[in-house]
Copies of this chain bind each other. A is one copy, B any other.
Amino acid sequence: MVYNIFKKHKLNSQHAKISAEALINAELVGAHGHGLSRLKMYCERIKKRLINPKPNIKIKKISSSISHVDADNSIGFVAADISIKTAIKNAKKTGIGLVATKNSNHYGLSGYYAEKAVKKNLVVMIFTNAPPAVAPFGAIKSLFGTNPICFGTPTNYKAPFILDTSISKINRGKIRFAEINNKKLPKGVALDKFGKPTTDAKKALKGVQLPIGDFRGSGLAWMVDILSGVLTGANHGGKVKDPFDDFTGPQNVGHLFFVFKPNLFVKDYNDRIKKNVKLIKKLPKIKNIKEILYPGENKFKRFKINSKKKIKIPKNILKSIKELTFD
């Protein structure tokens, strides 16, 4: 159904497939804020030509390791897919691949693209900026996105190590999901537009999300904005438009993909990473914690479980999918 909806919105078969797979993957790993709850928004932006369904994506070769992707305002999934594949190709050739992407849109989960590199036995870092959600330290107005930092590595275990962490205390997708489903936010993660703490998702979206570690998280968000926005030629400094609320123009999100071979410096990387994980897993645990998990393990487990069973989709989201299919 999702594939057909994208096709109906003029994406070609390949792009519709890439986009549908990314959305369904988000549902399967349990990241509902990056899944079907965004489908209607993507379609609206395509209809209004704020996302280009027929992009002419250009890959400029800077060196055998470095490439620049101009995504021509394609849907973010397609821009990210081409970019990570280019970074992987460069890294396989020279040991290291650096790809900067401009004129892109929201691409969902960074970890999804990191996994593509890890499956090719590569280490990966990915940065992307996002619409204003977090205030720089000292300011009372949002400017930074939740600007995730993403890192992945093969582990020699079943699940890859995929850290995909926003620098805000909570992901914006989770707030969107709470808003749609009338759920409360945890305490201490957001302020309303008057600067007062709130657990109301609607108020939080109009206010400010709080960064992890105060000035530390604010600094990390700033770093991500520079790496993915200033460096790449994309929007930055609070100019990335909110895909849900702002229909005045394309987002021009920027991404940076950095990929390299794990055995550049040591022959036994696989053994070393396995030992590293083992040492940490066998530490004494906090009460009621059964197992120390590495980043990505939970999503991997949820993916396995959800792939084999029916997934519950909230009624309002199911309704929007049906409308998109049959309208």
A266 touches B232 (CB 8 A): yes
- Asked whether A284 lies within 8 Å of B62 as measured between CB atoms, the reply is no
Stoichiometry, copies per complex: 2
- Beyond the given pairs A226-B276, A237-B276, 12 more chain A to chain B contacts, judged by CB atoms under 8 angstroms and listed by A's residue number, are A62-B264, A62-B265, A100-B265, A138-B292, A138-B293, A141-B283, A151-B226, A212-B216, A230-B269, A230-B276, A233-B266, A237-B279
Closest 10 A/B residue pairs (Cβ)? A212-B213, A237-B279, A139-B283, A138-B292, A163-B219, A151-B223, A100-B265, A165-B216, A237-B276, A138-B289
A78 to chain B, nearest CB (A): 19
Task: Contact check, B236 vs A272: say whether CB atoms are below 8 A apart.
Answer: yes
- Is A96 among interface residues, defined by CB-CB distance under 8 A? yes
How large, as a class, is the contact surface on chain A? 35 or more
Write out the residue numbers on chain B whose beta carbons fall within 8 Å of the beta carbon of A139: 280, 283-286, 292
Assembled-state Cα–Cα distance A60/B100 (Å): 28
Asked if A79 is an interface residue, CB under 8 A from chain B, the answer is no
Q: Which residues of A contact B (CB under 8 A)?
A: 62-63, 65-66, 68, 94-96, 98, 100, 102, 123, 135-141, 143, 149, 151, 153, 161, 163, 165-167, 169, 212-213, 215-217, 219-220, 222-223, 225-227, 229-233, 236-238, 258, 260, 262, 264-266, 269, 272-273, 275-276, 279-280, 283-286, 289, 291-295
Contact call A165/B286, Cβ cutoff below 8 A: no
CA of A101 to CA of B321 in the docked complex: distance in angstroms? 52
Q: Is the CB of A295 within 8 A of B238?
A: no
Whether A280 lies near B143 (C-beta < 8 A) is: yes
Q: Measured between C-beta atoms, what is the minimum distance from A125 to chain B in Å? A: 8
